[in-house]
Amino acid sequence: MTLPRPSGGGPSLPLGSVLRQLSAETVLAAKAAGLPSTAVPTDLQASMIALSNELSSSEAPALHALHLAARTASEHDAAVHCLSGVARFLGL
């Protein structure tokens, strides 16, 4: 079954200025150059950072404090922070 594609109107979700300027060419060029995203983390990503900070692991308290102090000012930093938090929680 094929449904007709909606027409007209703008995006259903409000987009920030960074997303409005984003294009497929920009993303592909950055990926090809190996550049990490420097965009500011979205509200969803900030929530994921907060959740990853709440995951308990068997690491020493001082090491846990260092992980909480990690820089998460960009999307790339946030992704690395969340990934490492989940990996520590899972014992990977």
Residue with tokens 């259903």: 12
Report the alpha-carbon distance of residue 82 to residue 75 in Å, rounded. 10
pLDDT at 17: 60
pLDDT at 79: 85
Q: Where are the chain's structural domains?
A: 40-92
Residue with tokens 């500011």: 40
pLDDT at 6: 64
Tens digit of pLDDT per residue, the chain (92 long)?
A: 677 776 665 555 555 565 566 677 876 777 777 777 777 888 888 888 888 888 777 777 887 787 778 778 888 888 888 888 888 888 87
**pTM for the whole thing?**
0.53
Report the alpha-carbon distance of residue 15 to residue 26 in Å, rounded. 17
pLDDT at 59: 74
Residue with tokens 């969340």: 82
